Amino acid sequence: MRLRLQDVRKSFGENSVLRGVTFEVGPGEVVALAGENGAGKSTLTRVISGAHRPDSGQVLIDGEPVTFKDPQAAMARGIEVIYQEFRQNLFPHLTVAENIHVLDRERHFGRLLVSKKRMAREAQSVLGGLGMDIDVRRSVGSLGVAEQQMVEIAKATSHDLRLLILDEPTAALDERESQQLFQQVERLRAEGVSIVYISHRLDEIFQLADRIVVLRDGQVALNTPTAETGPAQVVAAMVGNAVDDFYPKEPNSRDDVVLRVRGAAAGRAFHGIDLDVRAGEVLGIGGVVGCGRSSLLRALFGLERFTAGTVEVDGRPVRLRGVQDAIRHKIAYLTPDRGAEGLCADLSVETNISLATLRRYTGPADLVRRGRERSACGDVMARLRVRAASPAVAMSSLSGGNQQKALFAKWVLSGPRVLLMDEPTRGVDVGAKTEIYRIINQLTADGVAVVLVTSDLPELVAMSDRAVVMRQGRVVAELIGDRLDEQSVLEHALVGAA
């Protein structure tokens, strides 16, 4: 066996991510590694590549137990990882040739000074061996994403490559580019390289893999040759049995449509989107990262431009040229990245909460009426149970859950008709999650139309009255009632099967 994992365990503090993982990869074998977010795929990758050390268990290469000090040590044994964020490993201002040879310490390409010609010649031959046609003198930053990925692969194969781990390699590629990548994978397999292929996309997995390993909650939930299984079985293994008693969902949906979207499109991000969201309804949007759902929310908040289509709020057409337009039409938006886009960490909780509605509390000469502001913030903080030592403490002193509740408070204060939320419970502990679901209930009880984008499938299924699934910029399914379950969402998101 090229790679054997023997009861590998890894935890971070209280959080045990890998709980006894055992599987093997043979020479010239492609093993697909699947699992939901948080199942442990990335941690496993980092254990194999030497970025993390396992707490217990063994990693065996060619039957020999290894402990890698760092990823360089793993590379010396012919183990390479191409991460989803592979661009972080490339130097955009250096040429293709320089990037390919950047880690070659033993080869100097010249006696004293680096011979660029020799370097370029060797890089060209590496790329040629992979059947790629990229000018090695170009800077990597000037290449497209797919070409950059090819450079990363070439970098890996410029050494004696024995095991290649690809983490979501097609996430940034289009269909044609993906097919080119698959050809490279086939080529490497034919050369006897072992490949671990991590992907959310079932169609790719079934096209490429010899064997499929599914991780769930840090354990192997399925390990079977591809020929002996089908998408339904893989999805079932990924989902497992979810507990759903901490979702206090209340159905509040009424008949009147608040948000109506017709034929909406924005460049390549999404197109042909028709949506109706009713008062008090939670419309969930499922789909993998990059399917266009986050762009759709941003466009509905005026952050990205629609290139076609119409939007109506409460029956009135709305033009969304910027954030101010969205806010004026009572559309609110909770960003997926709380730290970068959501909160002003050094400012007080109160200041953060009143930020979007400050004009209501300013009087003559633009002076802020502190009393009114304080009482309004105090009310909404009590209603949403934002726990802070006082409204005057810095936002950064709050826990993730309370920060998120404070951001909810900011928009609740604005009295929205439509609340768009992208990953509202990311990085929030379990207790606070339930409180956030209660806030969503309060909002729908008030007749707010909620659009919920989340990668947390159980959450999507439990909190949505109705869900649509997006894939490659289109709505591919609408699920309601009995048909709204994790398995259907996943199937539509990944393969589009009926």
Partner 1 sequence: MSPTRSTLKSVARQLRAVWMLLLVGVILSIASPVFLTSSNLLNVGLATSVVALLAIGQTYVIILAEIDLSVGATLGFSSVVTALVLRDHGLLPALAAGLGVGAAVGLVNGLLVTRTRMPSFIATLAMMSILAGMTLQLTSGNPVAVTDYDFQGIGQAYLAGIPVPVWIMVAGFGLFGVLLARTGFGRFVYATGDNHEAARLSGIRTQRVKILAFMISGLLAALGGFILTARLSTAEPTAGTGLELESIAAVIIGGTSLAGGRGRLIGTLVGALVLGVIDNGMNLLDVSPFLQSVVKGLVILLAVFLDRNVDALRALIPRRGPSAPPGSSAPDDGLPTVQPTPVPTLDPDAPRQQSAGVPAARPTP
Residues 57-116 that bind partner 1 (CB under 8 A): none
**Alpha-carbon gap, residue 74 to 81, rounded angstroms:** 10
Q: 79-82 and 163-167 as β-strands: parallel, antiparallel, unpaired?
A: parallel
**Alpha-carbon gap, residue 261 to 301, rounded angstroms:** 13
Tokens of 58: 């063994």
- Asked if 492 touches partner 1 (CB under 8 A), the answer is no
Burial class (CB in 10 A: 0-12, 13-18, 19+), 38: middle
Question: Which residue of 111, 228, 255, 390 would you call a contact of partner 1, by CB under 8 A?
Answer: 390
Other CB atoms within a 10 A radius of the CB of residue 150 amount to 23
**Alpha-carbon gap, residue 288 to 454, rounded angstroms:** 10
Stretch touching partner 1 by CB under 8 A, among 61-69, 188-196, 377-385, 391-399: 391-399
Question: Which residue of 94, 145, 257, 497 would you call a contact of partner 1, by CB under 8 A?
Answer: 145
Q: 229's torsion region: left (phi>0), alpha (psi -120 to 50) or beta?
A: beta
Stretch touching partner 1 by CB under 8 A, among 23-31, 89-97, 114-122, 170-178: 170-178
Question: Which residue of 347, 382, 445, 480 would you call a contact of partner 1, by CB under 8 A?
Answer: 347
- Rg of the chain over CA atoms, in angstroms? 25
Nearest distance, CB of residue 421 and partner 1, angstroms:
13
**By C-beta, is 269 or 377 nearer to partner 1?**
269
In contact, 75 and 157? CB cutoff 8 Å = no
Question: Which residue of 76, 102, 114, 358 would you call a contact of partner 1, by CB under 8 A?
Answer: 358
Applying the rule CB under 8 A, the residues between 27 and 56 that interact with partner 1 are 37-43, 46
Site string for partner 1, 222-261 (x = CB under 8 A): ----------------------------------------
- Asked if 286 touches partner 1 (CB under 8 A), the answer is no
Phi, psi of 348 (to 5 degrees): -70, 160
**By C-beta, is 375 or 397 nearer to partner 1?**
397
- Asked if 368 touches partner 1 (CB under 8 A), the answer is yes
**Alpha-carbon gap, residue 267 to 304, rounded angstroms:** 10
Question: Which residue of 25, 283, 291, 377 would you call a contact of partner 1, by CB under 8 A?
Answer: 291
Tokens of 450: 């909620």
Helix axes 116-129, 145-157, angle to 10 degrees: 100
Question: Which residue of 3, 8, 17, 165 would you call a contact of partner 1, by CB under 8 A?
Answer: 17
Applying the rule CB under 8 A, the residues between 412 and 431 that interact with partner 1 are 422-423, 426-427
Question: Which residue of 115, 125, 310, 397 would you call a contact of partner 1, by CB under 8 A?
Answer: 397
**Alpha-carbon gap, residue 158 to 342, rounded angstroms:** 43
Stretch touching partner 1 by CB under 8 A, among 119-127, 131-139, 247-255, 263-271: 263-271
Question: Which residue of 50, 54, 286, 292 would you call a contact of partner 1, by CB under 8 A?
Answer: 292
Tokens of 10: 């890894």
DSSP conformational letter for 357? G
The beta strand positions in 378-489, using DSSP E, are: 418-422, 449-453, 466-471, 474-480
Nearest distance, CB of residue 346 and partner 1, angstroms:
5
- Asked if 401 touches partner 1 (CB under 8 A), the answer is no
**By C-beta, is 109 or 333 nearer to partner 1?**
333
Q: 257-266 and 194-198 as β-strands: parallel, antiparallel, unpaired?
A: unpaired
In contact, 294 and 453? CB cutoff 8 Å = yes
Burial class (CB in 10 A: 0-12, 13-18, 19+), 5: buried
Nearest distance, CB of residue 304 and partner 1, angstroms:
7
Stretch touching partner 1 by CB under 8 A, among 121-129, 268-276, 311-319, 443-451: 268-276
Question: Which residue of 113, 227, 365, 498 would you call a contact of partner 1, by CB under 8 A?
Answer: 365
Nearest distance, CB of residue 476 and partner 1, angstroms:
12
The size of the interface with partner 1 (CB under 8 A), counted in residues, is 76
- DSSP letters for 280-319: T-EEEEE--TTSSHHHHHHHHTTSS--SEEEEEETTEEE-
**By C-beta, is 123 or 428 nearer to partner 1?**
428
Question: Which residue of 348, 403, 404, 464 would you call a contact of partner 1, by CB under 8 A?
Answer: 348
**By C-beta, is 193 or 239 nearer to partner 1?**
239
**By C-beta, is 228 or 366 nearer to partner 1?**
366
Which one, of 27, 36, 20, lies nearest residue 3 by Cα? 27
- Asked if 437 touches partner 1 (CB under 8 A), the answer is no
In contact, 153 and 183? CB cutoff 8 Å = no
Stretch touching partner 1 by CB under 8 A, among 25-33, 153-161, 239-247, 355-363: 355-363
Phi, psi of 491 (to 5 degrees): -60, -45
- Asked if 488 touches partner 1 (CB under 8 A), the answer is no
Q: 30-34 and 56-61 as β-strands: parallel, antiparallel, unpaired?
A: unpaired
**By C-beta, is 209 or 457 nearer to partner 1?**
457
Stretch touching partner 1 by CB under 8 A, among 254-262, 312-320, 340-348, 475-483: 340-348
